[in-house]
Amino acid sequence: MEAISVQGYDEERRVIYWNKGSELLYGFSEAEALDQKLEDLIIPKYMRDGVIAAHSDWLTQGIEIPAAEMILCNKDGKDVNVFSSHVMFVNQHNQKQMYCIDINLAEVKQAKEQAVFKENMLKAVFEATPDLFFLMEEDGTIIDYHAGSSNKLYVSPEEFIGKKMDGLLPEKVDQEFQAHTSKVLDQGGVSSFEYELNMPTGLTYFEARISHLQSYRQVVVVVRDITEQHKSAEIIRQHAYFDALTLLPNRFLSLDRLSQMLNEAERNEEKTAVLFLDLDGFKKVNDSLGHEVGDKLLIEAANRLNLAVRKEDTVGRLGGDEFIVLLRALNDDHNAMDISENLLRVFREPFQIDGRELILTVSIGIAIYPENGNCASDLLRNADSAMYQAKALGRNTYSFFTEEMNVIMIRRFEIEEQMHGALERNEFEVYYQPQFNVRDGRLIGAEALLRWHNPTLGNVTPDEFIPIAEQTGLIVPIGKFVIEQALNFLKKWQTKHQQNYTIAVNLSPRQFRDQELISFIKKSLSNANISPDNLEFEITEGVLMIGKSYIDAALLELHKLGIKLSMDDFGTGYSSLSYLRQYAFDVLKVDRSFINGITVNKEDCDLVKATIAMAHSLGLLVVAEGVEMKEQLTLLDKLGCDFVQGYYFSRPIPAEELIEFSYV
């Protein structure tokens, strides 16, 4: 069959596109046709005026040229009988272009002959295949069928011909058929699923493939018996992926699941833990009481492990008396500790094997993603090392991968424990670091910074407690406390000095998930009688990288309220520039790591200079953090920086000190 002819014409009906099909159908080469007018190429003289008028009407009035059968002419002047359809496009220069698609009707006869041949061929295929074929109306009424083997039919033809599929099959299978039929009716294509039926010959597995003949308003269902394939696949799968003794996932499947969990944890920015378990003293039991007792002990140990973990976790057997537990989606490392303690507890109950009471403990090594490794092999190796550390500690215990991690975890748990109730005990205080205008040295506002003094732990740095507050959700009430304190102080500060100061407050990722955030901010502004343009929220790139719609909505709402938005720690991430384009920021804060080196490092100086120029071109003000020397201030003034803060002027100070603060 010849290729379909496709031609393109500009507003003057001059050829701009002439494909190979057009060359074959009309005889003009692409070179001959390009830039020639439509009517001079393939339009018979008696039709030319009408074609020109119709094209003009489409261009000027939007009257489309209908698809139709017509007789055109080729290069030799001979008639060409075609079915022609047309479409109009507007290019990037706002110019209209018409494309014609012509099909040679001389090929229709040949196509009909091929259709008859295909029909006969399909009949032969039907007779040779064992598959079941059903033809249905769109409402599920069965109007025809073919069965190479009648014993594959669930009910006799007399019971289903002329009746709907509904009710002929078991409810669960019937629902599957209805769901997949609806899918192809709505979306087209082919939908397939597997199901099982209790046939006279036994449990039989089938695969159904459903497609929609839209032109005929009918549905075709092809059903194949896959019982043998199913059994073979199940046997292969069982041997390949599961331990023959305990029926737990084997080493191969366990590591595969771990890799999948790591991918999921990376996408969701979650933690995952690998627990490497070894049964204490198993070899002694196995050698003294025999392998049969040892095998029963392993089976019972596997059952206890399964019962001790969450549904979403995985217990696997690596071999011998070594097991692995994969903990999915941990909120924090405390979860790994809780589950490990639970595992130790379930092994304290004696095992009852063949009338014997056996005591068997377990040693557990813990490796956490991403701190202890980014891939399955590294995590497994590190968990194995931690398990040997647990053995060295006297067995019947657990150990994290490094001693340093154990120390960190203990410190973390202490902080988390003390943080609960810290607000109620008035242990938090908001400090303020003043901000100054670079040009005239005028005090223009301050950044609110949280400080925590705990009677047990002493002064806890924000770098320690803020991440823990974020992970536990305590950052939400703590964040509200900071906002209220900052706004109430701002009112007092403005009133005393009769100055239009601004307070900058940090917003963390977890706070954006609080559905009451915006309403709380509105209420707090109203209660403190503070204008929204005197409040600035600092947003880190980490917040924006989450990419959640609720963050976008919250930022838009804050912008509409007139609250200033500041991008904090600019330059430390990878996508800051794109976020400056995407969100309505007012202020850009250059991270202290770049300010530190501007007087001694040309690269840092050039980078800060370019950042300031770029920010100003976008209409943003620039704040430099971490200014500690007069030389830095002088250079920032020269580079055009707007505002500065840092130890050169003042450390973060309590509210009472800022009220009386003066910089000379």
Per DSSP, 47 falls in state H
The CA radius of gyration of the chain, in Å to the nearest whole number, is 38
Do the Cβ atoms of 503 and 489 come closer than 8 Å? Answer: yes
Closest CA to 363 of 338, 333, 336, 343: 343
Do the Cβ atoms of 78 and 96 come closer than 8 Å? Answer: no
Section 111-118 average pLDDT: 72
Q: Which is higher by pLDDT, 409 or 389?
A: 389
Structural domains counted in the chain: 4
Cα gap 279→321, rounded to integer Å: 6
Residues 293 and 213 in one domain: no
Q: Which of 234-248, 355-369, 631-645 has the lowest mean pLDDT?
A: 234-248
Read off the pTM.
Answer: 0.47
Partners of residue 225 on adjacent β-strands = 206
pLDDT at 84 over 60: yes
Residues 383 and 441 in one domain: no
Strand order in the sheet with 398-400: 314-319, 322-330, 271-279, 362-369, 398-400
Range of the domain at 216: 129-230
Section 534-562 average pLDDT: 88
Predicted confidence band of residue 199 (pLDDT cuts 50, 70, 90): confident
Residues 36 and 69 in one domain: yes
Burial class (CB in 10 A: 0-12, 13-18, 19+), 174: middle
Predicted confidence band of residue 234 (pLDDT cuts 50, 70, 90): low
Report residue 114 as tokens: 């091929």
Mean pLDDT over the full length of the chain? 88
Residues 283 and 380 in one domain: yes
Residues 522 and 619 in one domain: yes
Q: Between the CA of residue 550 and those of 41, 111, 470, 515, what are the distances in Å?
A: 59, 56, 17, 9
414-434 per-position pLDDT tens digit: 898 999 999 999 999 999 999
Report residue 355 as tokens: 């009338």
Please report whether residue 120 resides in a domain: no
What per-residue confidence (pLDDT) applies to 1? 47
Residues 437 and 383 in one domain: no
Residue with tokens 């294509």: 189
Q: Which of 306-320, 538-552, 592-606 has the lowest mean pLDDT?
A: 538-552
- CATH of residue 94's domain is 3.30.450.20
What per-residue confidence (pLDDT) applies to 2? 54
pLDDT at 406 over 70: no
Q: Between the CA of residue 56 and those of 16, 53, 635, what are the distances in Å?
A: 17, 5, 67
Q: Which residue, 230, 256, 271, sits at the end of a domain? A: 230
Residues 380 and 488 in one domain: no
Section 617-637 average pLDDT: 94
Please report whether residue 207 resides in a domain: yes
Q: Is 102 helix (H, G, I), strand (E, B) or coil?
A: strand
H helices of 347-444, where? 376-392, 403-419
pLDDT at 548 over 70: yes
What per-residue confidence (pLDDT) applies to 135? 87
SS (H, E, C) 532-574: HHHEEEEEEHHHHHCCCHHHHHHHHHHHHHCCEEEEEEECCCC
Burial class (CB in 10 A: 0-12, 13-18, 19+), 517: buried
Residues 553 and 650 in one domain: yes
Cα gap 147→152, rounded to integer Å: 8
Residues 583 and 484 in one domain: yes
pLDDT at 160 over 90: no
Cα gap 479→484, rounded to integer Å: 9
Section 659-664 average pLDDT: 75
pLDDT at 655 over 90: yes
Please report whether residue 235 resides in a domain: no
Residue with tokens 């403005």: 494
What per-residue confidence (pLDDT) applies to 196? 86
Predicted confidence band of residue 443 (pLDDT cuts 50, 70, 90): very high
pLDDT at 576 over 80: no
What per-residue confidence (pLDDT) applies to 485? 97
- CATH of residue 270's domain is 3.30.70.270
Residues 383 and 355 in one domain: yes
Q: Which of 3-17, 43-57, 69-83, 380-394 has the lowest mean pLDDT?
A: 380-394
Per DSSP, 420 falls in state T
Predicted confidence band of residue 127 (pLDDT cuts 50, 70, 90): low
pLDDT at 607 over 50: yes
- Name the phi and psi angles at 409, rounded to 5: -65, -40
Please report whether residue 412 resides in a domain: no
129-159 per-position pLDDT tens digit: 667 878 889 888 888 877 766 667 887 777 7
236-273 per-position pLDDT tens digit: 666 678 888 999 999 989 999 999 999 988 888 888 99
Residues 454 and 568 in one domain: yes
pLDDT at 612 over 50: yes
Section 197-225 average pLDDT: 86
Please report whether residue 533 resides in a domain: yes
Please report whether residue 178 resides in a domain: yes
H/E segment holding residue 18: strand 15-18
Distance between first and last Cα of the chain:
91
Closest CA to 400 of 372, 437, 421: 372
Please report whether residue 638 resides in a domain: yes
Residues 601 and 640 in one domain: yes
Section 580-609 average pLDDT: 90
Please report whether residue 487 resides in a domain: yes
484-534 per-position pLDDT tens digit: 999 999 999 999 999 999 999 999 988 998 999 999 999 999 999 999 999
335-346 per-position pLDDT tens digit: 788 888 889 988
Cα gap 510→542, rounded to integer Å: 11
- CATH of residue 485's domain is 3.20.20.450
Cα gap 52→284, rounded to integer Å: 99
Q: Which residue, 180, 199, 230, sits at the end of a domain? A: 230
Q: Which residue, 198, 230, 262, sits at the end of a domain? A: 230
52-79 per-position pLDDT tens digit: 999 999 999 999 999 999 999 999 999 9
